Structure 1
Amino acid sequence: MKGLVFTGGEAVEVRDFPDPQAGAGEAVVRVRASGVCGSDLPRYRDEAGSKGIIPGHEPAGEVVELGPGVPPGLRVGDRVMVHHYAGCGFCEVCAMGFEQACPNDRVTYGTGAHGGHAEFISVPARTLVHLPEELSFEAGAAIACGTGTAWNGLKKMDISGRDTVAVFGQGPVGVSGVVSAKAMGARVIAVDISDERLDFARELGADVTINPLQTDVVAAVAEVTGGRGATASLETSGAEVARQQALEVLSYFGKCSYIGNGAPSRIDIRGEVIRKVLTIYGSWTFTKAEQIDIARFMVDNRVDLDALISTRYPLSEGGRAYREFAGGAIGKPMIVFDA
């Protein structure tokens, strides 16, 4: 099979790999779509590259082979997403479906084992989640990490039509937050330093857009909320200033969910969190059960996740996909494979 690797210093190659075989309890999936995610960029830029491992932790496709011992709920031909972590399968967090926190023997597909930027991927069958027929493979790949992460950060705050939500950062995760918050009924304020990304967020349903390079974010949010502030915020950028502003824009008793990775930073506990009686959530992807809920929500609410997909690339143009994404391209880039 063909698979993509990072060879170091933003260089990318498509190489030949042996076709995977399904061992006991495993499934082989023919990848139909594999998302490009911001968390891949550090290894893309690093001189060590991906060390021969195929990246891509957002695959969706079709089951083509099952190993012995796979339960009957999964069949060849099923459309699936990959919950891209595998722990020991027996500890408390694994039993919860949160295998990314397994303290024993955790694997992340696309980092510690071959991921989805290839024609096939082999994973434990228990990591697979059925993809509803109403959703495209691209939508399934988006849910598998970035979109699902944004949705789960919002769900922790119980977002509804009562809320005004400020979403900081309008990369793939941030615009997923815009789309998800709108589907939950909220009024949405999108914040980013790129006017192009803000335009895209508005196309996807953002009610208000704010560029911090052009206006004071806190003052602007206060103005559009009649001085009250937002009831909730979702921080996706990982930037220190955004992490602080995500608290400053909130009303009394507001809620903030942090999902953006980034360097260590400090926030004002006394002046913001304590005095305004705020609630802060940390949110790291989702459990397998939550991935099922996310897909069901998108179907039930007729959310057009395909609108998030800005550009589709064949595997042979994976280098261009990462080059353009690293350069600040809008939306969600997707590596796709012909049927």
Structure 2
Amino acid sequence: MKEFPDPQPGPGEVLVRMRASGMCGSDLHFYRGTASFGGGADIIQGHEPCGEVHAVGPGVTPEIASVGDRVMIHHYWGCNTCDHCRSGWPQMCDGGNVHTLCIDEPGGHAPYMVVPARTLLPLPDSLSYKAGAAIGCGTGTAWGGLKRLGDLGGTTLVVLGQGPVGLSGTMLASALGARVIGVDINSTRLDRANRFGASEVVNSAEVDIREAISELTGGKGADLVLETSGVANGDALKVLGKWGRACFIGLPGPVSFKTEEIFRNQWTLMTSWTLSSIEQRRCAEFVAARKLPVDDLFTKIWSLDQAAEAYEWFDKQTDGKGVFEF
């Protein structure tokens, strides 16, 4: 824990009062000192922020943001002029000037945070601040991966890993019309997967995953796979059926195969990087419309002065998702 002066919004910026700041699995790269993509001891962590507009800087009109607005935040911003930025994908900015919360910009694990007004997205009235925080990255990352996979209706989808992102994928995909088979090595997580909409679950530590999925799919294999753990990529290729599509969103996530062994399967393999600002808003609207239990992803609620204890707990990765509430 460190003390920082309260930030002040400049031109085109807003000061957001934090109401919830989620803990994301990628935080552990910084916590463990293994991150290879920025961050540091002087960068405030937290890239799942959600709160309300506390003050606006010069040039921010009421049409853009007003004090009291309930807002989510898309946690990247770029040049705002290239095709990627203008289509809602600032993390892919061609201008070479991508800013990311908790990597090179102060994040949400603090009472206040300054961000460009263009990063704000409305939080539906029916959603809690912690739901908005989850949609900002963890749940939103699952949504982004599912959108990459395409139409889910009537398909059989295997979700590998039933941590917070995997459970989000299970919940969202089930609501989008897929038959979801949840896979994990932790029985508690598999129990939660059932509650979040999985039709069947498989403990890959206890059974041969290839045989289990083959039996559940009548020998066809899965239509789709969403890999969320970062360590089960080989399993994805074991269970994917012919013409199948797989999306890999877990980090570090090494994927390897010999073309001669798999080319006859006619697979489509892809990655997904969080989600666009447009899809973040759509995800929130979908969750609100379907009344999906995003709040239930959180198994621990912490105050900011409990941060050391919170990350000691989170580092064990034996439970669910944590959030700081303010």
Smaller-chain TM-score bracket: over 0.9
Which region of structure 1 is more displaced relative to structure 2, 324-333 or 219-228?
A: 324-333
1:221-273 deviations in whole A, cap 9, x for unaligned? 1111111111111001111xx2122122122111111111115441343333x
Tell me if structure 2 keeps the 8 A contact 1:63–1:79: yes
Rounded Cα–Cα distance in structure 1 between residues aligned with 2:173 and 2:93: 30
Structure 2 SS opposite 1:112? coil
Which is further off, 118-127 or 307-316? Answer: 307-316
- What is the SS of the residue equivalent to 2:43? coil
Q: SS at 1:261's partner residue? A: coil
Which residue of the partner structure matches residue 46 of structure 1? Answer: 33
Aligned length: 321
What SS does structure 2 have at the residue aligned with 1:296?
A: helix
Deviation string 1:255-310 (CA, Å, 9 cap, x unpaired) is: 111111115441343333x2111122211011111111111111122211111111
The correspondence for 1:306, drawn from 292, 295, 303, is 295
Alignment-derived partner of residue 80 in structure 1: 71
Contact preservation (8 Å) 1:244, 1:268: no
Contact 2:233 2:254 in 1 (8 A): no
2:3 corresponds to 1:16: yes
- 1:198 Cα deviation after fit: 1.5
Output the TM-score relative to the length of structure 2. 0.94
Is residue 181 of structure 2 the alignment partner of residue 189 of structure 1? yes
| 2:96 is equivalent to residue 107 of structure 1 | no
Superimposed CA distance per residue, residues 157-182 of structure 1 (whole angstroms, 9 cap, x where no aligned partner): 22433111100111111111111111
* Change over 3 Å in CA distance of 1:93–1:289 after alignment to 2: same
**Higher deviation after alignment, 259-268 or 150-159:** 259-268
Cα contact 1:172–1:330 (8 A) shared by 2: no
Q: Do 1:191 and 1:212's aligned partners in 2 also have CA atoms closer than 8 Å?
A: yes
Q: Tell me whether 1:133 sits opposite 2:100 in the alignment.
A: no
Task: Report the equivalent of 1:170.
Answer: 162
Aligned mate of 1:281, from 254, 270, 291: 270
TM-score, with normalisation over the residues of structure 1? 0.91
Identity of aligned residues (%): 47
Query: Which of 73, 80, 84 is matched with 1:93 structurally?
Result: 84
CA distance in 1, matches of 2:42, 2:229: 29
Partner of 1:144: 136
Structure 2 distance, partners of 1:268, 1:307, is 41
Partner of 1:254: helix, strand, or coil?
Answer: strand
Aligned to 1:209: 201
Q: What is residue 237 of structure 1 aligned with on the other side?
A: 229
Cα distance in 2 between the residues matched to 1:330 and 1:50: 26
Residue from 323, 329, 336 that aligns with 2:318 = 329
Unpaired runs of 5+ residues, structure 1, are 1-12
Q: CA deviation at 1:51?
A: 1.8
2-side partners of 1:133 and 1:124: how far apart?
22
Unaligned runs of 5+ in 2: none
Aligned to 1:35: 22
- Displacement of 1:203 in angstroms is 2.2
Aligned to 2:239: 249
Aligned residue identity for 1:289: I
In structure 2, give the amino acid aligned to 1:221.
I
When residues 312 and 269 of structure 1 are mapped into structure 2, their CA distance, relative to the original with a 3 A threshold, is: farther
Distance 2:144 2:308 in 1: 30
How far off its partner does 1:47 sit?
A: 8.2
Q: Is the 8 A contact 2:182 2:202 kept in 1?
A: yes
Tell whether the 8 Å contact from 1:82 to 1:127 is kept in structure 2 after alignment: yes
Using the alignment, how far apart are the partners of 1:320 and 1:220 within structure 2? 39
Deviation at 1:330, TM superposition (A): 2.4
Contact 1:32/1:137 (8 A) holds in 2:
yes
